[in-house]
């Protein structure tokens, strides 16, 4: 079947006027004097408690202010107040000096007497003055596991990410000095935009003092890496001669436990292997996890390659060892190791696709603030225009009775939530679905019912963790094969043999076996990373990572077996399988039956971009009556992020597909009179779409929806991309870049000439635009 490059679609020129920004109006309390008295009393209590804090680089006091939905930055209109963080639950954390405290007290006293004050909206919004307590400072793992019983142990300590450089330097210098005074060993640290993080070694007593230090935001236990492998070895006597990848093949970097670079199926594609772990910085894989991940990243579907006995690498492999089997022995912060590795491979090889099959079970995402490694990936994604592909993480501690009777519902419990860095919004997070549903014993004795698979083929793996991410964003973004479990119905034991993903094995060094199988979300992620690197190599030069993400998601489909499992419930499907599994049939190139339209643009805040879809008559015609035609639209962008805001991402973009008689009619629909509420209620064309509705998908930074046509279509279809920043922003005068991928499919039409017809329509449009510009 002939294949062609994807087609570029240009936006229409109208960009309509800015819509008005909605304002939050603070209503006065019913009894203002009583409200002021309560506030005054809470201020006195909080002030007394705040003076008991340790350390602090200056003499200001730290307060936890209950403000609800009031914009925290408005608090800084009181002289001497510096807001340092917005926390979940309607709280803001702020430093206040003597001048600010005197202002609070004086104005509250005035309100108590029933008189008017300036900045009254602040005092009406305030509900209480509170403190950032020892319990507030404890991270999830520390809350659940407590401090280690031994004398000395490592802790991760986050400070307040103060905005001003001078104050931040002063805080860091003072904290370093304080650590020295206390005898707390400083092992590693990070100081970037909205993250100041230390790894320290401390005793029980020193840890308690850290939990009472004014400048400490969070104290938590170090990561607990997930590097378990349950592998059944395969013995392959002869692979044959495997060629080297093409000289211009794209790079893919595996950041993991290292790679056995001498493996006969890897060595011809290995471009560089570096170690970033102290003290020896060895690049060797002494654990096996990285080698297994690398095989899938390099070949994609290793099972398919094995069945066809055809191994032909299309990528060049880079390996960065940042993990080992003894995570607790590593004094370096994982955030620093990842950043060092990414910057090295990006600078040396211009590598833009990174697989990081890592999850920290000590940092489950329970809502609210995104944690440190996820933030690091989001920041690097935007700065370097690189793509991280990461797993949701493994939920290994599943009770047998849950496996027996509560699958798949237990996957939606808090116990199975995403773990850091899976909530990262600018990365692609991958969940696992099952490929196999027959164990070694059940294939040998097919009439023996004792070993029952938990998941059927194309259903969520029984160990995959589930979303959503920040503010309800869809996670995982995609799924791929990562393995399955079975349950022995007599013993209650978990069975894994012959249920995992086939890939390259480090065991070739000892017993000559080249392949093994293993189960875990770690092995679902590199399937997608492989597709991402191949896609980047096929797109036009200088394409953004936004476009790679959009094209991948536009080619994804929710597996029917998963849809049936969850009764097509959008909310449950969005948390378990996201946008589904990528179908590579038109991923790299378009065909006459299925093509991709691509666009990259930049959009100002409170504006719209309009795209008229080129739809030929052959696609509009619904004959034969049962013929299905599909339209998928995907949008991706990479916004700036901050850990100090509940609205973690600064920019909000989404899209609508609408039907209208003309471009002018569409522009009128999205005119400047459209309020925010009216816009969010604006319905899309067609009711037969899958999935998801605009209100669900718009929370993420990669979004997709599919429409299936069975009847004749009349009228014109438009894709409208909207930017509407509701939360905090950096500089909203800067246009934000985004990418669109629009997939059109007419696979049931044996005479389809979709690509040729649409290409002709786009050329006619382009000539018309040139004529219009020439006349004007």
The confidence score (pLDDT) of residue 233 equals: 42
Does residue 624 have a pLDDT over 70?
Answer: no
Judged by average pLDDT, the poorest of 224-238, 386-400, 483-497, 673-687 is 224-238
> What is the C-alpha separation between 668 and 660, in angstroms, rounded?
10
> What is the C-alpha separation between 665 and 669, in angstroms, rounded?
6
> What is the C-alpha separation between 699 and 68, in angstroms, rounded?
21
The confidence score (pLDDT) of residue 676 equals: 65
Does residue 475 have a pLDDT over 50?
Answer: yes
Question: Catalytic residue at 256?
Answer: yes
Does residue 239 have a pLDDT over 90?
Answer: no
Does residue 672 have a pLDDT over 70?
Answer: no
Instruction: Give the Å distances, CA to CA, from 605 to 206, 600, 639, 647.
Output: 48, 16, 12, 16
521 close to 226: Cβ distance less than 8 angstroms: no
> What is the C-alpha separation between 648 and 641, in angstroms, rounded?
5
The confidence score (pLDDT) of residue 168 equals: 94
> What is the C-alpha separation between 230 and 517, in angstroms, rounded?
8
Average pLDDT over residues 768-776: 69
Structural domains in the chain plus CATH codes? 7-21+592-775 (2.60.120.380), 32-132 (3.30.70), 136-220 (3.30.70.60), 232-576 (3.40.50.200)
The confidence score (pLDDT) of residue 769 equals: 77
The confidence score (pLDDT) of residue 774 equals: 65
List pLDDT tens digits, range 487-527. Answer: 887 788 888 777 899 999 988 877 778 888 899 999 999 99
Does residue 306 have a pLDDT over 90?
Answer: no
Does residue 167 have a pLDDT over 70?
Answer: yes
Out of 417, 432, 516, 522, pick the active-site residue: 522
Instruction: Give the Å distances, CA to CA, from 1 to 585, 586, 591, 594, 757.
Output: 11, 11, 7, 11, 17
Instruction: Give the Å distances, CA to CA, from 59 to 45, 98, 174, 208, 215.
Output: 18, 9, 12, 21, 11
The confidence score (pLDDT) of residue 300 equals: 96
With bands split at pLDDT 50, 70 and 90, how would you rate the model's confidence at 708?
A: confident
The confidence score (pLDDT) of residue 27 equals: 83
Residues in the chain: 776
With bands split at pLDDT 50, 70 and 90, how would you rate the model's confidence at 241?
A: confident
> What is the C-alpha separation between 461 and 453, in angstroms, rounded?
10
Percentage above 70 pLDDT, the chain: 91
- What's the mean pLDDT when you consider all of the chain? 90
Tokens of 41: 């009393």
Does residue 622 have a pLDDT over 80?
Answer: no
Does residue 711 have a pLDDT over 50?
Answer: yes
Residues β-bridged to residue 478: 430
Residues β-bridged to residue 415: none
Q: Which residue has the higher pLDDT, 714 or 23?
A: 714
With bands split at pLDDT 50, 70 and 90, how would you rate the model's confidence at 772?
A: low
The confidence score (pLDDT) of residue 174 equals: 97
The confidence score (pLDDT) of residue 446 equals: 65
Cis peptide bond prior to 408, omega within 30° of 0: yes
Average pLDDT over residues 299-325: 91
Cβ atoms within 10 Å of 393's Cβ, excluding its own: 32
> What is the C-alpha separation between 591 and 585, in angstroms, rounded?
9
The confidence score (pLDDT) of residue 108 equals: 95
Q: Please tell me whether residue 11 adopts helix, strand or coil conformation.
A: coil
122 close to 77: Cβ distance less than 8 angstroms: yes
Instruction: Give the Å distances, CA to CA, from 386 to 272, 395, 598, 700.
Output: 18, 28, 19, 18
> What is the C-alpha separation between 124 and 120, in angstroms, rounded?
6
Tokens of 275: 């170690």
Judged by average pLDDT, the poorest of 33-42, 114-123, 713-722 is 713-722
Does residue 681 have a pLDDT over 80?
Answer: no
List pLDDT tens digits, range 175-223. Answer: 999 999 999 999 999 999 889 999 999 999 999 999 999 999 999 999 8
Out of 256, 324, 458, 654, pick the active-site residue: 256
Judged by average pLDDT, the poorest of 72-76, 558-562, 738-742, 765-769 is 765-769
Residues β-bridged to residue 247: none
The confidence score (pLDDT) of residue 235 equals: 47
Return the residue matching tokens 């990410």.
Answer: 161
Burial (0-12, 13-18, 19+ Cβ within 10 Å), 739 = buried
Pairing of strands 736-745, 594-603: antiparallel
The alpha-carbon radius of gyration of the chain (Å, integer) is 28
Average pLDDT over residues 123-128: 94
With bands split at pLDDT 50, 70 and 90, how would you rate the model's confidence at 688?
A: low
Percentage above 90 pLDDT, the chain: 69
List pLDDT tens digits, range 177-189. Answer: 999 999 999 999 9
> What is the C-alpha separation between 419 and 227, in angstroms, rounded?
14
Average pLDDT over residues 383-400: 95
3-state secondary structure string, 528-542?
Answer: HHHHHHHHHHHCCCC
The confidence score (pLDDT) of residue 557 equals: 95
With bands split at pLDDT 50, 70 and 90, how would you rate the model's confidence at 236?
A: very low
Average pLDDT over residues 226-241: 52
Question: Catalytic residue at 608?
Answer: no
- What's the first-to-final CA gap in the chain, in angstroms? 43
Does residue 697 have a pLDDT over 60?
Answer: yes
Does residue 468 have a pLDDT over 70?
Answer: yes
DSSP string, 253-269: EEEES---TT-TTTGGG
Out of 35, 263, 289, 346, pick the active-site residue: 289
With bands split at pLDDT 50, 70 and 90, how would you rate the model's confidence at 232?
A: very low
Average pLDDT over residues 250-260: 96
With bands split at pLDDT 50, 70 and 90, how would you rate the model's confidence at 2?
A: confident
Cβ atoms within 10 Å of 681's Cβ, excluding its own: 10
With bands split at pLDDT 50, 70 and 90, how would you rate the model's confidence at 713?
A: confident
The confidence score (pLDDT) of residue 9 equals: 95
The confidence score (pLDDT) of residue 406 equals: 94
> What is the C-alpha separation between 640 and 575, in angstroms, rounded?
24
Question: Catalytic residue at 522?
Answer: yes
HSE of 655 in the Cβ direction (CA atoms, 13 Å)?
Answer: 29
Tokens of 240: 């044959």
Residues β-bridged to residue 272: 318
196 close to 158: Cβ distance less than 8 angstroms: yes
């Amino acid at each position: 079947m002939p294949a062609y490059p994807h087609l570029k679609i240009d936006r229409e020129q109208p960009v309509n006027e800015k819509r008005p920004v909605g304002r939050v109006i603070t209503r006065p309390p019913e009894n203002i004097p009583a409200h002021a008295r309560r506030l005054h009393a809470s201020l006195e209590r909080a002030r007394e408690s705040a003076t008991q804090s340790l350390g602090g680089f200056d003499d200001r006091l730290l307060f936890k202010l209950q403000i609800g939905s009031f914009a925290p930055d408005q608090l800084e209109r009181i002289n001497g107040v510096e807001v340092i963080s917005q926390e979940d639950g309607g709280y803001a954390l702020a430093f206040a000096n003597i001048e600010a405290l005197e202002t609070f007290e004086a104005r509250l006293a005035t309100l108590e007497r029933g008189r008017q004050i300036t900045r009254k909206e602040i005092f009406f919004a305030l509900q209480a003055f509170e403190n950032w307590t020892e319990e507030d400072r404890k991270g999830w793992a520390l809350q659940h596991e407590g401090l280690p019983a031994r004398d000395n142990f490592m802790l991760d300590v986050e400070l307040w990410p103060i905005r001003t450089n001078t104050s931040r330097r002063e805080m860091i210098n003072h904290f370093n000095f304080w650590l020295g005074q206390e005898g707390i060993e400083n092992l590693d640290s990070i100081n970037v935009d909205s993250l100041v993080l230390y790894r320290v070694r401390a005793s029980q007593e020193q840890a308690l003092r850290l939990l009472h230090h004014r400048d400490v935001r969070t104290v938590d236990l170090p990561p607990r890496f997930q590097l378990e492998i349950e592998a059944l070895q395969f013995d392959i006597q002869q692979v044959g001669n495997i060629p080297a990848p093409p000289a211009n093949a794209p790079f893919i970097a595996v950041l993991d436990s290292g790679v056995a670079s001498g493996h006969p199926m890897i060595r011809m594609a290995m471009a560089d292997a570096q170690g970033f772990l102290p003290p020896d910085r060895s690049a060797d894989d002494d654990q096996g996890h990285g080698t297994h991940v690398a095989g899938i990243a390099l070949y994609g579907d290793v099972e398919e390659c094995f069945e066809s006995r055809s191994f032909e690498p299309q990528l060049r492999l880079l390996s960065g060892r940042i993990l080992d089997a003894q995570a607790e022995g590593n004094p370096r912060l994982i955030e620093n190791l990842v950043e060092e590795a990414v910057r090295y491979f990006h600078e040396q090889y211009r590598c833009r696709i990174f697989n990081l099959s890592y999850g920290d079970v000590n940092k489950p995402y329970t809502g609210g603030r995104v944690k440190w490694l996820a933030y690091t990936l989001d920041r690097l994604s935007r700065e370097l225009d690189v793509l991280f592909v990461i797993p949701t993480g493994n939920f290994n501690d599943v009770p047998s009775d849950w496996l027996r009777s509560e699958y798949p519902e237990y996957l939606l419990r808090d116990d199975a939530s995403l773990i850091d860095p899976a909530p990262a919004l600018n990365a692609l997070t991958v969940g696992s679905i099952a490929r196999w549903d027959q164990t070694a014993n059940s294939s040998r004795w097919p009439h023996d019912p004792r070993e029952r698979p938990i998941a059927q083929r194309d259903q969520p793996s029984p160990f995959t963790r589930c979303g959503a991410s920040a503010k309800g964003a869809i996670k995982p973004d995609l799924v791929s094969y990562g393995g399955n479990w079975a349950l022995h119905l007599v013993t209650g034991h978990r069975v894994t043999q012959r249920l995992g993903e086939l890939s390259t094995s480090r065991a070739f060094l000892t017993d000559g076996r080249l392949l093994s199988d293993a189960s875990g979300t770690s092995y679902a992620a590199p399937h997608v990373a492989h597709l991402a690197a191949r896609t980047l190599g096929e797109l036009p030069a200088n394409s953004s990572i936004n476009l790679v993400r959009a094209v991948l998601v536009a080619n994804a489909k929710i597996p029917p077996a998963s849809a049936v499992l969850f009764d097509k419930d959008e909310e449950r499907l969005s948390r378990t399988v996201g946008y589904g599994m990528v179908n590579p049939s038109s991923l790299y190139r378009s065909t006459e039956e299925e093509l991709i339209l691509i666009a990259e643009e930049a959009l100002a805040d409170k504006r719209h971009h309009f795209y008229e879809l080129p739809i030929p008559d052959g696609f509009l015609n619904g004959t034969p009556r049962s013929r299905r035609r599909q339209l998928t639209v995907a949008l991706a962008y990479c916004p700036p992020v901050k850990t100090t805001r509940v609205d973690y991402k600064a920019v909000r973009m989404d899209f609508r597909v609408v039907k209208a008689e003309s471009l002018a009619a569409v522009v009128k629909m999205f005119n400047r009179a459209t309020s925010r509420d009216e816009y969010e209620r604006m319905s899309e064309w067609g009711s037969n779409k899958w999935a998801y509705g605009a209100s669900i998908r718009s929370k993420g930074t990669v979004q997709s929806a599919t429409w299936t046509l069975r009847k004749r279509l009349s009228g014109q279809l438009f894709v409208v991309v909207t930017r509407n920043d509701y939360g905090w922003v950096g500089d909203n005068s800067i246009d934000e870049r985004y990418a669109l991928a629009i997939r059109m499919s007419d696979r049931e039409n044996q005479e389809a000439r979709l690509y040729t017809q649409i290409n002709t329509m786009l050329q006619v449009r382009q000539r018309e635009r040139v004529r219009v510009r020439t006349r004007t």
